Amino acid sequence: MTRDLIVSLASGTIFGAGLALGGMTDPSRVRGFLDLFGAWDPTLAFVMGGAVLVMAAAWLIQRRMQRPVFATSFSLPDRSDITLGWSADRRCSEWAGVSRVVPRPRPVHPRLVGGSALFGMGWGIAGLCPGPGFAALAIEPVSAAIFVAAMLGGMLLVRLMEGNA
């Protein structure tokens, strides 16, 4: 348990530092990146490209691993509230003699489309999304706190409307 918390804390810290160093916590830079037909600022494309390169390297490394570093086997969570877009049916894939559980895609759910649209609108208007919003708490505490509070309020509102709160 403690090891998992330490790994989570380290991962979150590295992620937050990367967002801050890459400029993703600066709403004006994010809005500039999203303004494709105005004063477009392409710098965040390099941040995303760097993230893709790191992920590609990590993916290649993990494909050769027999098991994760801090677990006995590869697995996916089995919670019904996260299966939106994935079927509960799972199939095993095998690569280099190591089998892994892989979810099967399902048709896109209207909630996913609506949530994606709201996410994109919020990101375009505020210049922040959840990860950078939390990371921005260290840089712009007042405006980031307002953003995070509104985001959490919206999440709670959806749960209340669905009767899941």
pLDDT of residue 57: 94
Contacts of 16 (CB under 8 A, 6+ apart): 131, 134, 135, 138
C-beta atoms surrounding 136 within 10 Å: 24
Q: What is the mean pLDDT of residues 92-116?
A: 69
Residue 139 has pLDDT above 80, yes or no: yes
Specify the pLDDT at position 102: 61
- Under the banding of pLDDT at 50, 70 and 90, the label for residue 1 is low
* Predicted pLDDT at 126: 85
Residues 6 or more apart in contact with residue 128 via CB below 8 angstroms: 25, 27, 30, 122, 136, 144, 147
Chain-centroid distance, C-alpha 9: 16
Q: Tell the residue number behind the tokens 């709670």, with chain if given.
A: 156
pTM metric for this prediction: 0.59
Please report the pLDDT score of residue 142 as a whole number: 93
pLDDT of residue 98: 52
Distance of CA 163 to the CA centre of its chain: 25
Percent of the chain with pLDDT over 70: 80
pLDDT in tens, 62-100: 888 888 887 787 776 655 444 444 444 444 454 445 555
Q: What is the pLDDT of residues 12-49, one digit of tens each?
A: 889 888 888 888 888 888 888 888 888 888 988 998 89
